[in-house]
Homo-oligomer: A and B are copies of this chain.
Amino acid sequence: MNSFISREQDYALRITARLAELRKGEQMSIKELSNDMFISKIFAARIVHKLKLAGVLGTNQGRTGGMFLASDPKKLSAYQVLNIIGFKVKYNNCLADDFNCELIGKCRFHGFFHKQEIIMIEQFKKMKISDFLFNKTKQNNGGH
């Protein structure tokens, strides 16, 4: 393991990027989405629910239900999506809030890891969901 990004977080990114390709007013069912993105339907539903609670996407229940992106994909960062699914990753445990390091003030690794972590997070904040569309020709945001 030891992956920064969990499967669930990865799926959340895929899902938002896929929904960002829909036209205005268009929606998509979990079934279709999970087929497209190769995620089990039930797992996808759970993720979709979290994203909905966070306001990133909207859902309609019922027979003609489905879901759609409720945020501007050009403003929605990868970092935001990851955080909704619980992105609490650290370069090293010693950077965690509740970590009590006996070597604090003496250990130079701490500062190095801290700096690297900040650099990484900046990258995740910089990248927006619109940068990750699967098929750019289908995209429908301004300038078409």
Contacts and interface: CB of A to CB of B under 8 A. Distances in A.
A28 interface: no
A116 B112 contact: no
Contacts of A7: 93
**How many monomers of this chain does the complex have?**
2
Contacts of A79: none
A106 to B, nearest CB: 5
Contact of A2 (B6, B38, B107, B127): B6
Interface of A: 1-7, 10, 13-14, 17, 37-38, 88-94, 102-103, 106-109, 112-113, 116, 120, 123, 127, 131-135
Given A3-B93, A10-B94, A17-B109, 18 more contacts: A1-B93, A2-B2, A2-B4, A2-B88, A2-B89, A3-B89, A3-B90, A3-B91, A4-B4, A4-B89, A4-B91, A14-B109, A37-B103, A38-B102, A106-B135, A108-B131, A112-B127, A120-B120
